[in-house]
Structures are given as C-alpha cells and as structure tokens.
C-alpha cells in the first residue's frame, strides 16, 4: 500500500522528465525570444515567428511553469517524507493535463498535424491520465 509519505514507483521519474523538459523548453524559448539563440522556423511549431501564434505559444508559459514547479516541488517533498507532496503532485498533473489538451485542441482546430508537437502534448495528457487515478485511488 502506498502511504502519504511514499510516492508511487515511477512517478518521481515521470515528473522529473516532464517538468525538467518543460523548464528546458521555456529556457530555450526565452533565449530565442531575446535573440540569444537562433531557433530555425522549420524546427518550431507552425506559425512560429508570427505575432499571434507566438503570443498563443507564450500564453502557455504560466500554466507550464506552474505544473513544472509544483511537480518538482512534489518530488522534493516526497523525498523529504513530507505528506504534502500528494496535493502538489495532483495540482501538477491537473495542470499538465490541461496544458497538453489545450495544445492538442489548438492544433486540431487549425488542422495542423505535426507528430513533433502532437507527440509531446499527448504524452502530457497521457501521463496525467495514468498517474492521477493512481494517486487518488491509493490515498488511505
């Protein structure tokens, strides 16, 4: 049985990979925004470099940073034996699900299917759908 003090096996790695990748993405995006790194348009999302689509992309920064930081905080709390890790992990997973679903919805509405952008966003949705019921179901 999983207790409030123990994070399920595999969840810490999942959160570290997803949340670390998101922080890396936004770090690279910020460097590109400030002209400190050249990001080739062909490697980016459809519409990259246009004001409205770039604004759409940047509108995800708050939710992405929130889920990344709460997820990493949950891992840290669990490692320290702090039972408050569970609500932070659930908040992180809920925001992860929303961010991934919003992005996929946008690409679907624009009829733009690019596996390089759909894949990671569907992975966000899938990870949240996998772990959320396990956290809720294992709460004693």
pLDDT digits over 40-70, tens only? 988 888 899 999 999 999 999 999 999 999 9
Q: Distance of CA 27 to CAs 23, 30, 61, 75, 104, Å?
A: 6, 5, 10, 21, 22
Residue 124 has pLDDT above 60, yes or no: yes
Question: pTM of the entire structure?
Answer: 0.92
pLDDT for 114: 92
Write down the mean pLDDT value for the chain.
93
Indicate the pLDDT class of residue 139, thresholds 50, 70 and 90: low
Residue 137 has pLDDT above 90, yes or no: no
Per-residue pLDDT reduced to its tens digit, 104-117:
999 999 999 999 99
Which secondary-structure segment (H or E) carries 74? helix 61-79
Residue 77 has pLDDT above 80, yes or no: yes
More confident call, 119 vs 137: 119
Percentage of residues of the chain with pLDDT beyond 90: 88
CB 15 within 8 A of CB 75: yes
How many whole angstroms separate alpha carbon 9 and alpha carbon 7? 6
Residue 5 has pLDDT above 90, yes or no: no
| Closest listed residue to residue 11, CA positions, set 128, 137, 140 | 128
Phi, psi (deg, nearest 5) at residue 59: -65, -15
pLDDT for 1: 42
pLDDT for 43: 86
Residue with the two structure tokens 């569970």:
86
């Amino acid at each position: 049985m999983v207790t409030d003090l123990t994070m399920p096996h595999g969840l810490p790695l999942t959160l570290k990979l997803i949340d670390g990748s998101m922080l890396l993405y936004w770090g690279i995006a910020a460097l590109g925004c400030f002209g400190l790194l050249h990001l080739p348009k062909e490697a980016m999302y459809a519409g990259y470099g246009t004001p409205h689509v770039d604004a759409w992309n940047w509108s995800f920064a708050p939710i992405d940073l929130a889920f990344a930081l709460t997820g990493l905080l949950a891992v840290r709390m669990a490692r320290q034996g702090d039972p408050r890790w569970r609500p932070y992990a659930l908040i992180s997973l809920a925001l992860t699900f929303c961010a991934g679903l919003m992005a996929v919805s946008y690409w679907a509405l624009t009829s733009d299917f690019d596996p390089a952008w759909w894949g990671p966003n569907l992975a966000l949705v899938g990870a949240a759908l996998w772990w959320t019921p396990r956290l809720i179901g294992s709460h004693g």
